[in-house]
């Protein structure tokens, strides 16, 4: 299997192209400062993962920014910090402020010369519009949790994407799903027989951070530590083929 075998790259956005964990931790810093016992960055992210994943199962149709408000309320309760609902809503709106990783824009601009680029994201459309401006790329399709009515790792999200791309003449074997989360993305990709590429942003930290432990480690067909490394590997694959 070679990177040049594919025609479409489907991307998770937050955690892969946008610095999801950095955005979460920065937005929670004030709340964390009020907690009696000190919390490490990973402790904060792991607590966020537990509440976010549970809430996505319970309220799959809730818009992501609104779901984040509930997550904030649950974290505050766990940590014994009183908060008002307006503060919770403010946290939900911070998703629009989260930054792109330094290598995302250049890599996407390069890859767009060779592939169709598609987003499959656990986000609402309004929030993604802010991310899209930071990524500075016109994606060929954008599929959000708000569109689908469920959140990854629900197979419904991937089935929806595959159905819409099939209607455009894109076969599953021509798609490479590219993502950081083993839990949200690579495990369901395995279940559906979809080739996948791991962008291992947490390679230096270890652990799972703001994503849940997937249990058994899913298979990935390619593995890179960032988007720049993926783009460079594609350049090398093209050179080898000529």
Domains and CATH numbers, the chain: 3-19+100-241 (3.40.50.1000), 20-97 (1.10.150.750)
Q: What is the pLDDT of residues 155-172, one digit of tens each?
A: 999 999 999 999 999 999
Q: What is the pLDDT of residues 81-98, one digit of tens each?
A: 999 999 999 999 999 999
Which positions are catalytic? 12
| Per-residue pLDDT reduced to its tens digit, 142-152 | 999 999 999 99
Q: Give the pLDDT score at 37.
A: 86
* pLDDT at res. 67: 97
State residue 21's pLDDT score.
96
* pTM across the whole model: 0.94
Among the listed residues 188, 184, 182, the one whose alpha carbon sits nearest the alpha carbon of residue 203:
182
- The pLDDT, as a whole number, for residue 236 is 94
List Cβ neighbours of 117 (8 Å cut-off, separation of 6 or more). Answer: 8, 9, 11, 108, 111, 137, 139, 140
Split at pLDDT 50, 70, 90, the class of 141 is: very high
Residues 6+ apart with CB under 8 A from 66: 89, 92, 124
Q: Tell me which residue of 132, 85, 90, 137 sits closest to 109, measured CA to CA.
A: 137
User: What b-and-e string marks burial along 121-134, b requiring 16 or more CB atoms within 10 Å of the CB?
Assistant: bbbbeebbeebbeb
Distant-in-sequence, close-in-space partners of 162: CB < 8 Å, separation ≥ 6: 172, 175, 192, 194
pLDDT for residue 202: 87
Q: How confident is the model at residue 128 (pLDDT cuts 50, 70, 90)?
A: very high
Give yes or no for a contact between 142 and 128, defined as CB atoms under 8 angstroms apart: yes
pLDDT of residue 206: 83
The Cα-based distances of 169 to 7, 163, 174, 232 in angstroms read 11, 10, 10, 28
- Residue of 137, 132, 157 whose CA lies nearest to 165: 157
Classify residue 169 by burial, with Cβ atoms within 10 Å: 0-12, 13-18, 19+.
exposed
- Side by side, the strands of the sheet bearing 141-144 are 141-144, 116-121, 8-11, 175-179, 196-199, 222-224
Residue 195 backbone class (left: φ over 0; alpha: ψ -120 to 50; beta: rest): beta
pLDDT on residue 104: 98
Which residue stretches of the chain are H helix? 20-33, 41-58, 64-79, 85-93, 104-111, 125-135, 145-148, 155-167, 187-191, 227-241
């Amino acid at each position: 299997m070679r990177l040049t075998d594919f025609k479409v790259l489907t991307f998770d956005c937050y955690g892969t192209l946008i610095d999801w964990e950095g955005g979460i931790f920065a937005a929670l810093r004030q709340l964390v400062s009020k907690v009696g016992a000190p919390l490490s960055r990973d402790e904060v992210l792991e607590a966020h993962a537990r509440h976010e994943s549970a809430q996505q199962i319970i309220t799959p149709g809730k818009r992501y920014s609104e779901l984040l408000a509930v997550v904030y309320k649950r974290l505050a309760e766990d940590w014994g910090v009183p908060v008002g609902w307006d503060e919770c809503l403010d946290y939900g709106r911070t998703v629009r402020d989260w930054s792109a990783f330094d290598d995302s824009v250049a890599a996407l601009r390069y890859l767009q010369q060779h592939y169709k680029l598609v987003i499959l994201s656990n986000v609402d459309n309004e929030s993604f519009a802010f991310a899209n401006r930071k990524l500075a790329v016109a994606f060929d399709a954008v599929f959000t949790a708000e569109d689908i009515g469920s959140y990854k790792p629900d197979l419904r999200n991937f089935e929806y994407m595959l159905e819409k791309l099939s209607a455009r003449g894109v076969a599953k074997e021509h798609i490479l799903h590219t993502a950081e989360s083993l839990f949200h993305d690579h495990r369901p990709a395995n279940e559906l027989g979809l080739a996948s590429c791991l962008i291992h942003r947490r390679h230096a930290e270890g652990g799972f951070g703001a994503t849940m432990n997937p249990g058994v480690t899913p298979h990935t067909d390619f593995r890179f530590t960032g988007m720049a490394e993926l783009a460079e590997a594609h350049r090398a694959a093209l050179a080898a083929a000529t």
